[in-house]
């Protein structure tokens, strides 16, 4: 009787351990590598490298793997105390790279690690996704925002472009950009 109970207890412990490992095993190694790279970079930017010149931080961001940049932004929101929802895969994600919950509001995220100017068609496509899902969105990028992209965003008051100082503040643990609304004058409240 005691041997049976001991065996059942050992099987239960083994099952619990196995169930905790299964989600990790299902994640491809490249995903684990990108998340690990993002965690390390986030820790560096919020720690010893926090006061680096912004140009140097931007050079580091632009040199990163594009998908690791996506993970870095999601990690920064998570380390700022916000609940995040990561996309299950990098391609075929429907134009949404992740979601963040801020003050109970679901905000869709699109991240691009551009080296040059962002493409206005990407901004418009993300605006369409946000409109269809009736959600606010943040188009977060490490490139330059050209005039055509500014025009595209002006027609879409439910999304914001986050780059430059706001991006660096998010990544270094500075004042969080979504706690306050950055609306253009005349834009509708979402």
**Inter-CA distances, 122 with 125, 141, 156, 173, Å:** 5, 11, 13, 27
- Which among 81, 82, 62, 69 is positioned nearest to 42, based on CA atoms? 69
Residue 78's domain comprises: 26-172
> Does any domain span residue 187?
no
> Does any domain span residue 14?
no
Question: Residue 160 and residue 144: Cα distance in Å, rounded?
Answer: 14
What is the arrangement of strands in the sheet containing 83-86, beginning at the earlier edge strand? 83-86, 98-102, 105-112, 136-141, 159-162
For 61-81, the pLDDT digits (tens) are 988 888 899 999 999 999 999
**Paired sense of beta strands 98-102 and 83-86, if any:** antiparallel
> Does any domain span residue 67?
yes
> Does any domain span residue 9?
no
pTM above 0.85, yes or no: no
CATH code at position 128:
3.40.1350.10
For 125-179, the pLDDT digits (tens) are 999 999 999 999 999 999 888 888 888 888 788 889 999 999 999 999 887 655 3
């Amino acid at each position: 009787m005691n041997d049976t109970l001991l065996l059942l207890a050992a099987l239960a412990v083994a099952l619990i351990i196995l169930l905790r490992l299964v989600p990790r095993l299902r994640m491809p190694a490249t995903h684990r590598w990108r998340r690990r790279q993002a965690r390390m970079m986030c820790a560096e930017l919020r720690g010893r490298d926090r006061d680096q010149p912004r140009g140097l931080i931007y050079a580091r961001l632009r040199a990163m793997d594009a998908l690791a940049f996506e993970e870095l932004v999601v990690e920064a929101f998570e380390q700022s105390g916000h609940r995040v929802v990561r996309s299950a895969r990098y391609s075929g994600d429907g134009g949404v790279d992740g979601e963040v919950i801020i003050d109970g509001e679901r905000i869709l995220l699109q991240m691009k690690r551009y080296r040059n100017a962002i493409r206005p068609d990407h901004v418009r496509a993300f605006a369409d996704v946000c409109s269809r899902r009736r959600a606010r969105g943040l188009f977060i990028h490490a490139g330059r925002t050209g005039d055509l992209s500014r025009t595209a965003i002006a027609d879409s008051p439910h999304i914001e472009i986050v780059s430059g100082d706001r991006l660096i503040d998010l990544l270094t643990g500075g004042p969080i950009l979504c706690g306050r609304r950055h609306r253009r004058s005349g834009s509708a409240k979402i």
